[in-house]
Chains A and B, each alone.
Chain A
Amino acid sequence: MSQEIAVVGSPEFTTGFRLAGVRRFENVPDDEKDADLDDAVTTVLEDDEVGIVVMHDEDLEYLSRNVQQNVETSVEPVVVTIGSGTGGGGLRDQIKRAIGIDLMDEDEDQ
């Protein structure tokens, strides 16, 4: 089954991806993120047509606890966050919990 890539974020963030051909996008202006980002992300996550969701790292902070957890654990669709940090904040915790060692931290030290 062919799926699409979706982008959620501010109009500045989504424009670039639209330039690359992404047509499924949710524009949420910065000053409305507190109120609307949760709904936008939930809509995209529940869409069967979407296979990958792209978000900015910093936008995760605007999400409510439940949605944030969904974003971190969702596999279908998978959420890829890009931005300033190394990403995978939730993944790091998951690794710590599952394996018992902070593997990402170890690799950063090396």
Chain B
Amino acid sequence: MAKDVKPTRKNLMEIEDRIELSERGHGTLEKKRDGLIMEFMDILDKAQDVRGDLADDYQAAQKKINMARAMEGDVAVRGAAAALQEHPEITTESKNIMGVVVPQIESSRVSKSLDQRGYGIMGTSARIDEAAEAYEDLLESIILAAEVETAMKKMLREIETTKRRVNALEFKLLPDLYDSQEYIEQKLEEQEREETFRLKKIKEKKEQAEKEEREAEAEAEAEAEDEVAPDDEGGDTAEPDMEQSTAGGVPGGD
């Protein structure tokens, strides 16, 4: 990924912005995950209590209905079961735990009194009543368990998603962004170094050119001076000659 980005200053700024955002998001998501796990622990304790009650209630209910079957016969029990008029209903409301919507289940008409059951008092025995009552208790436990288990399932799903997001940010997105940032920074630094080097070279060349120009100028000047020099030298030498000649002439003349 690091090699896909163009090493420009604009991209660097964009990546730095993204890193800042991702780091902030990572922190927040980590907190959310930890919070969810703590909430989950509370629910788990509750769920285990409810599960225990559920198992006990089921055993008790089974014992009662087996007894009713044994004493009254299967047909009588089924007959009573088919005669029921009132049916339990549940309504769900939702509660929000750290962004997870968990249900709160309200039940109605689960526990019924003898006369509400509808199978008559005369035709059936107390064992069937006991069995019915035990199953009504069991249903209450089941509704509670359903509420807690739904909450657990939803929270687990949310924890898993949050965990994945945290890990994706921590182990994939952020390292990639850091790589890109480093790559661009190094490229830009290299470009800067190249630029400095280029400028130095240009300066050197310029200086060299100036030096050469100066030398050439100096040479040209020297040459020009050389060209002028023979006349000057003739004049200079002529004088001593003349002086000499005069000098020589004078002693000779003297």
Q: Mark B132-169, 1 if CB is under 8 A from A, else 0.
A: 10111011001101100110111011011001000000
A3 with B65: CB separation less than 8 A: no
Once the chains are docked, how many angstroms separate the CA of A70 from the CA of B34? 28
Interface size on A, residues (CB 8 A): 35
A1 with B91: CB separation less than 8 A: yes
B112 with A21: CB separation less than 8 A: yes
Q: Mark B52-85, 1 if CB is under 8 A from A, else 0.
A: 0011001001100100000000000110111010
Q: Mark B80-113, 1 if CB is under 8 A from A, else 0.
A: 1110101111111000000000000100111010
B142 with A52: CB separation less than 8 A: yes
**List of B residues within 8 angstroms of A88 by Cβ:** 47, 51, 149
A78 with B131: CB separation less than 8 A: no
Residue B44 lies at the interface, judged by CB distance under 8 Å to chain A: yes
Which A residues between 20 and 59 are near B, CB-CB below 8 angstroms? 20-23, 51-52, 54
At the interface, is chain A mostly helix, strand, loop or mixed? mixed
Closest B residue by C-beta to A14: B81
Which residues of B are in contact with A by a Cβ distance under 8 Å?
A: 37, 40-41, 44, 47-48, 51, 54-55, 58, 61-62, 65, 77-78, 80-82, 84, 86-92, 105, 108-110, 112, 117, 128, 131-132, 134-136, 138-139, 142-143, 145-146, 149-150, 152-154, 156-157, 159-160, 163
